[in-house]
Structure 1
């Protein structure tokens, strides 16, 4: 069974467009610092840090401190609850479309 709390946490974290953009930016790199994320984003470093905190709490990113820097990278398994939820409904719709296809063949042979 799909854990609703985990799905809600991931969806809530990615619902914010700025946070989603940060996540996508991290996903496009191996690792990235807050300073690098802030550069050219139009968002303050404090706001970036708050978004990173939410992404980390949702299990979507992990951090690696090194000296004065903290590097962030995507945690792919963090998307599993969302993937499972989408897969569940994908099966639901495939079955419905299969039933519709059969019904249409019966109606119009």
Structure 2
């Protein structure tokens, strides 16, 4: 059974620790597990499990540099998730535009029967 990549991305992003790891990689660049563990009250093995989820989702890649294993942010899956969400943003913008038009129309029309006596 093929795994839906978009589902993996959203599942990975559902966890605040994983989002914080991605934010750290985006702001400061490649990092080791030890460097990524610093801001969290958890062990290196726990961070490694989060990194594995991010790697499986394609959000990071891992490579060796000398004796260090560095995590690197991969932005393409995030772009694909953003593109998917953008379709729904257009839907809501269109819906809000129609609602705005209806409200403007209602405000311009005289109230039915309000001045009938």
- Shorter chain as normaliser: what TM range? 0.7 to 0.9
Question: Which range is displaced more, 14-23 or 43-52?
Answer: 14-23
Structure 1 residue runs without a partner (length 5+): none
Deviations 1:59-103 (A, max 9, x none): 101122112101112111120232022101110011101111111
**TM norm structure 2:** 0.82
Instruction: Give the aligned partner of residue 31 of structure 2.
Output: 32
Instruction: Note if contact 1:61-1:78 (Cα within 8 Å) is conserved in structure 2.
Output: no
Instruction: Give the aligned partner of residue 100 of structure 2.
Output: 101
Instruction: Note if contact 1:6-1:81 (Cα within 8 Å) is conserved in structure 2.
Output: no
Task: Choose 1 or 2 for highest CA Rg.
Answer: 2
Instruction: Note if contact 1:10-1:81 (Cα within 8 Å) is conserved in structure 2.
Output: no
Name the one with the larger helix percent. 1
Task: Work out the CA distance in 2 between the residues paired with 1:7 and 1:84.
Answer: 11
Structure 2 residue runs without a partner (length 5+): 109-117
**TM norm structure 1:** 0.88
Instruction: Give the aligned partner of residue 111 of structure 2.
Output: none
Instruction: Note if contact 1:62-1:75 (Cα within 8 Å) is conserved in structure 2.
Output: yes
Deviations 1:29-57 (A, max 9, x none): 12111111122422111111111011011
Task: Work out the CA distance in 1 between the residues paired with 2:17 and 2:104.
Answer: 47
- CA-based RMSD of the aligned residues comes to 1.6
CA shift for structure 1 position 17: 1.7
- What is the SS of the residue equivalent to 2:29? coil
1:45 aligns with 2:44: yes
Task: Work out the CA distance in 2 between the residues paired with 1:5 and 1:81.
Answer: 12
